Chains A and B, each alone.
Chain A
Amino acid sequence: MKGLFRSVVLLLVLTLLSGVVTVMGQDGEKPLWGWATVADYEADSGQTLPAFSEAPMLAEQVSAGTLPPVAERLPKEPLVDNPFESVGKYGGRLTLGQVSAGIGYPASNFTTFESLFSLARDGATIVPNIAKGWEFNEDGTSFTIFLREGHRWSDGDPFDADDIMFFWNDIILNTDITPNVPSRFSPGGEPMQVEKVDQYTVRFTFAVPYYAILPNLASVVFTGCQGDIFEAEHFMKQFHIKYNDKAEEDAKAAGFETWVQLFNAKRYYWWASRPDVPTMGPWRVKEMVPEGTVLERNPYYYKVDTAGQQLPYIDTVVATIFNDAGTLALKMVAGEYDYQDWSTSVADYPALVDGAEQGNYEVFMAPSLWTSIAAYSVNQQYVGDEAVAEILRDVRFRQALSYAIDRNEINDVVALGQGTPFQATIHPSASFYKEEWGNAYIEYNPDLANQLLDEMGMTERDGENFRLRPDGQPFSLIISDVNDAIPEKMSELIKEYWDAVGIRTIVTATDRTLMGQQFTSGEYMVAGWAMDGAAESAVSIGVNGYLQGWQWAPEWNAWYTSRGAEGEEPPENVKRMFELYRNVPIMSVEEQRAALTEIFDIWEEGLWRIGTIGMVPKPGMYRKGLHNVDTNTYTDNADVGIGTFNRHYQFYWDTPQ
């Protein structure tokens, strides 16, 4: 089995996903990841792993008799992690910052996130993680997951096939909690079959070949984790009506209305950690208070370093909550965080460098996978006014808007010259990337823009010299600028460019709430949002909304997601794009590339989303004396998942306090 497993890894390394490897060029000697098991490590390196050891704070508990010894806490075959720079030492505290206390991307969760499979540092190679291996059958219609014997939750309870079975049978198939089986678990439109082969083996069976299940469980777009494919069965049963007749009353007593609410409140989502709930991650939540979240090490964490030390190195993590991004940046400048790469803006880079000496920290610029820091989706089914909708549907109009944008100036203002003028398309690291996609319509050519608009018949002007509609009525283009989703100043500039070619443009700040509703109802004209999800890894698993009409064609999107039952049938080229994309997850690698090439050809011609500048690096900082920090890793969300983020469990202090 091991041989098969290896060859599958190798195959995937070579073929499945992208050449983000370019990034690895300059530090190719840094380890991509570790080894699935001790045996793998020893076979690979020819060395013998020293005896397992543990943090002093756990050793105390062991000698006090409150905790079993480390060898009993680790699974039979722990994962051997290869530290980024060096084997570390135990102790200390890590302070992070996070914006927003509710739904968001709390820094604390990057530290506790753990998925069945993971991505190596290149953001592309899929490697074992919680599961020690996997296996597809010949035609990709069945997928087997191999778990680790003796693996335990943070409360010491065994982690095994039952945790996946509970998730599937009692959460996904329970219509109170999940009214519909998510489509990513229903390849070919049929829910997959889940079967427990033995205590440590689970098999998924699909109606059609479904290779994308692997990246789907490998932390790409934050999947494959607790709450997404497994759940702590022993803990969650007490809140489930099937196992507890009093679940409904318990929920009412706790201030909830239904048992489902209490059940969901106890679930451990990656974006909302919960205290008391067992976890698989390197730290567990010790305390959640309005000021922030306190995490302490998980004594049952399953990874060891090459010296046999159980990870993580750092004892506690404190994530303080900030409601104002400005204050977060100020705290970074003041060196009050030990590590921060999240909720940062490139505009703050000079201030960060300026404060580095007094604040005793290092600054770095992390690369980005977003091909547009802001992209403008032009609604193809605007419901406000048919004549306006007609204009928005004219591809010449969208081309004119794109030519009217001075991307070099945007780059200078928004990204201090560090980005690249780019169209909203796939990332250049993709194996099937064509240069013409990224360069389509990005030159700054107001004359051409004016010419295209004239051709459309928008030649008449009003008193303020703005163009009238072809039918002679006044015209204004409204940009719905989603708060916080794109850099400040971006839409202000875009407005100036479009005004300059005679299109009266109005920017309105719109909340995510309202925007979400408008994305469905079609009551917006142009919406600004980052071109995220542009990496090959994210595109290949088939969940990217923008290739399904999301944000730029509400009716076609509805038609696609309802399989023709609702919405409006799109024109041939769009239909072709949608159909191809629907099948991408179940294709072989070669088919996938051909399909995605065709998809992005159609995408380029359509120009439904107008890109600005892409690959804008994001600044980060870490306190001097912190080690194993990868300053060349992606810090974008959603694109490549948490696997590529810095592995906080490898961080260690020179002199722990």
Chain B
Amino acid sequence: MLNFIIRRFVFIAILLVLVSIVSFITIQLPPGDWLSAYVTALKVQGAQINEEIIEGLKIQYGLELPPVQQYFRWVTGLLQGDFGFSFSYSRPVADLLAERLPATIGISVLTIIVTYAIAIPIGIYSATHQYSPLDYTFSFLGFIGLSMPSFLLALILMFVGYKYFGLSIGGLNSPEFIGEPMSWAKFSDMLAHLPIPILIISLSGTAGLIRVLRGTLLDEIRKPYVDTARAKGLKERVLLYRYPVRIAINPLISTIGWLLPSVFSGQVIVSIVLNLPTVGPLLYEALRGQDTYLAGSIVMILSFFTVIGTLLSDILLAIVDPRIRIEE
């Protein structure tokens, strides 16, 4: 087991190096750089910029270095916990991330919890009541979430929520609580804002999980040991939850880690539309504005969480299902 974990850690280190290289390349890939965006912005305001000013700015931001050197500068910084400097915000990347990571992680964790809280009961119900009207209803609702693009669902839900239920639109807080220290009033205000975003981000993953759970559970309850147990007079409920459900949930646990990237990516678009203070919109803006270190650092952090998530679910799976260890 320990050997297994150590091996995985070595792989993670290699993986992160790869991610850092590729993310740096993808950010550098589109033509243009932050400086040209900035110069355009200044020129649009009528400022006269000549080559010397541009050169001066380049040196100031270290942009005169060749990309390879820029990369090493950034990576050595990362190793020392220095994420670099955001050009467009004129602030250290670490500060910007610190502001937004709590909300990002909080929303992701809540999303995953809600996804499972919806998917597991419905999956069990659908498997045990296969082809019943409620099975179809739940599957249908789950699939609506899956089939509607999240950005459109967000907009429609916001509009309907406002128009017919008087809910406030977007954001995590009402204006009067922005910038206020956390208090009971602010917390309850936040709770009132959370349902729509969490629902939208989790809906897209729910349908998939329902299907996986329903499928594996159906396989499991048709196995002979279930019949044997039933023949021996075990109560239906005990029989179901003690064996087949436990086994059927295993794949769900193992996919927790795989859920992370889709939760993060799904969050970017939903956060843009719903105005959530997560790193998503920051990443999108940074990518569009070629704010290299900001974009690169966000990609690194998201990838890092994903990789750690995958590792955790592998370990979890090994603990829950002893057969896995034998395979390894």
User: Do A and B touch each other in the complex, judged by CB within 8 A?
Assistant: yes
Q: Which residues of A contact B (CB under 8 A)?
A: 93, 95, 100-103, 175, 179-180, 182-184, 221-222, 254-258, 260-261, 264-265, 272, 286-294, 318, 320-324, 326-327, 330-331, 334, 336, 358, 483, 511-517, 519-520, 532-533, 538, 543-545, 550, 561-562, 566, 638
Inter-subunit contact A638/B46 (CB<8 Å):
yes
| CA A336 to CA B155, docked complex, whole Å | 15
A contact residues around B62 at 8 Å (CB): 257
A contact residues around B43 at 8 Å (CB): 516, 519, 545, 550
Given A184-B48, A512-B41, CB of A291 within 8 Å of CB of B172: yes
Q: Is B135 an interface residue (CB 8 A)?
A: no
Question: Max chain A CB contacts within 10 Å: which of B44, B272, B290?
Answer: B44
Closest approach, in angstroms, between the C-beta of A617 and any C-beta of chain B? 22
Inter-subunit contact B46/A327 (CB<8 Å):
no
Closest approach, in angstroms, between the C-beta of B75 and any C-beta of chain A? 15
Beta-carbon nearest neighbor of A510 in chain B = B32
| CA A299 to CA B36, docked complex, whole Å | 40
The 6 closest A-B pairs by CB, nearest first: A516-B40, A287-B179, A179-B56, A255-B92, A543-B46, A290-B277
Which among A102, A222, A256, A272 is the interface contact of B85 at CB below 8 angstroms?
A: A256
Which B residues between 144 and 196 are near A, CB-CB below 8 angstroms? 155, 158-159, 162-163, 168-173, 175-176, 178-179
Q: Is B30 an interface residue (CB 8 A)?
A: yes
| CA A100 to CA B277, docked complex, whole Å | 12
Inter-subunit contact B50/A562 (CB<8 Å):
yes
A contact residues around B220 at 8 Å (CB): none
Inter-subunit contact B176/A318 (CB<8 Å):
yes
Closest approach, in angstroms, between the C-beta of A513 and any C-beta of chain B? 4
Given A255-B95, A545-B43, CB of A93 within 8 Å of CB of B176: yes
Closest approach, in angstroms, between the C-beta of A251 and any C-beta of chain B? 10
B contact residues around A294 at 8 Å (CB): 178-179
A contact residues around B52 at 8 Å (CB): 179-180
Inter-subunit contact A323/B178 (CB<8 Å):
no
Sample of 7 more A-B contacts, CB < 8 Å, known A513-B33, A516-B40:
A255-B95, A260-B60, A261-B60, A272-B89, A511-B30, A513-B290, A544-B46
| CA A153 to CA B39, docked complex, whole Å | 31
13 contacts between A and B (CB under 8 A): A103-B38, A103-B88, A184-B48, A255-B85, A257-B85, A290-B103, A330-B158, A336-B175, A511-B288, A513-B30, A513-B33, A516-B43, A517-B33
| CA A258 to CA B90, docked complex, whole Å | 12
| CA A520 to CA B52, docked complex, whole Å | 14
A contact residues around B64 at 8 Å (CB): none
Which among B169, B173, B284 is the interface contact of A327 at CB below 8 angstroms?
A: B169
Beta-carbon nearest neighbor of A550 in chain B = B43
Q: Is B31 an interface residue (CB 8 A)?
A: yes
| CA A105 to CA B158, docked complex, whole Å | 26
Inter-subunit contact B168/A254 (CB<8 Å):
no
Q: Is B82 an interface residue (CB 8 A)?
A: yes
Closest approach, in angstroms, between the C-beta of A248 and any C-beta of chain B? 14
Inter-subunit contact A331/B37 (CB<8 Å):
no
Inter-subunit contact B30/A514 (CB<8 Å):
yes
Inter-subunit contact B176/A511 (CB<8 Å):
no
Question: Max chain A CB contacts within 10 Å: which of B155, B171, B282, B284?
Answer: B171
| CA A223 to CA B282, docked complex, whole Å | 29
B contact residues around A513 at 8 Å (CB): 30, 32-34, 36-37, 40, 288-290
Inter-subunit contact A516/B175 (CB<8 Å):
no
Closest approach, in angstroms, between the C-beta of A224 and any C-beta of chain B? 13
Given A102-B89, A183-B48, CB of A331 within 8 Å of CB of B34: no
Which among B48, B90, B179, B282 is the interface contact of A272 at CB below 8 angstroms?
A: B90
Beta-carbon nearest neighbor of B284 in chain A = A323
Question: Max chain B CB contacts within 10 Å: which of A93, A103, A532?
Answer: A103
B contact residues around A290 at 8 Å (CB): 99-100, 103, 277, 282
Inter-subunit contact B274/A258 (CB<8 Å):
no
Q: Is B273 an interface residue (CB 8 A)?
A: yes
| CA A331 to CA B62, docked complex, whole Å | 40
Closest approach, in angstroms, between the C-beta of A322 and any C-beta of chain B? 5
Given A255-B95, A286-B179, CB of A517 within 8 Å of CB of B36: yes
Beta-carbon nearest neighbor of A221 in chain B = B46
B contact residues around A566 at 8 Å (CB): 51
| CA A533 to CA B44, docked complex, whole Å | 9
Inter-subunit contact B277/A291 (CB<8 Å):
yes
Closest approach, in angstroms, between the C-beta of A206 and any C-beta of chain B? 17
Which B residues between 12 and 50 are near A, CB-CB below 8 angstroms? 30-34, 36-41, 43-48, 50
Question: Max chain B CB contacts within 10 Å: which of A184, A264, A520, A532?
Answer: A520
| CA A538 to CA B46, docked complex, whole Å | 9
